[in-house]
Amino acid sequence: MALADKGGIDSSDVRFTRRELREALAVGDTQLRVHLARLVALEYILRHPARDGRVAYELFWKGDDVSGGVGALSGGWRPPVGGAVGPGGSGA
């Protein structure tokens, strides 16, 4: 993570907000909320509520234990998003 590298600190010590991500990635708020919720559910990032009502996020996934590559994000039994559909349209 660039912020951690720049500051010479561990990535788990860096917290970021939705606003910072929206500005860095140039995406809309609704799209960002959907994707952040999924990343939290998959335990790739942690959500930290603050006292002032804001929310900060922390990178939790360290990048060392993904099996199945990016397609694994679609679910263990489903094909990768955008993957080929097998005979009969079943996806198998």
Predicted local distance difference test score (pLDDT) of residue 62: 67
Is residue 22 in some structural domain?
A: yes
Please write the tens of the pLDDT for every residue from 31-43.
999 999 999 999 8
Please write the tens of the pLDDT for every residue from 30-88.
999 999 999 999 988 899 887 788 888 888 876 665 454 444 444 555 555 555 555 65
Integer Cα distance of 23 and 78 in angstroms = 32
Is residue 48 in some structural domain?
A: yes
Is residue 90 in some structural domain?
A: no
Pairing of β 15-17 and β 45-49: unpaired
Q: Please give the average per-residue pLDDT across 15-24, as a whole number.
A: 90
Overall domain count for the chain: 1
Structural domain boundaries enclosing 46: 1-63
CB hemisphere CA count around 86 (13 angstroms):
6
- The CATH number covering residue 58 comes to 1.10.10.10
Closest of 8, 27, 12, 24 to residue 61, by C-alpha? 12
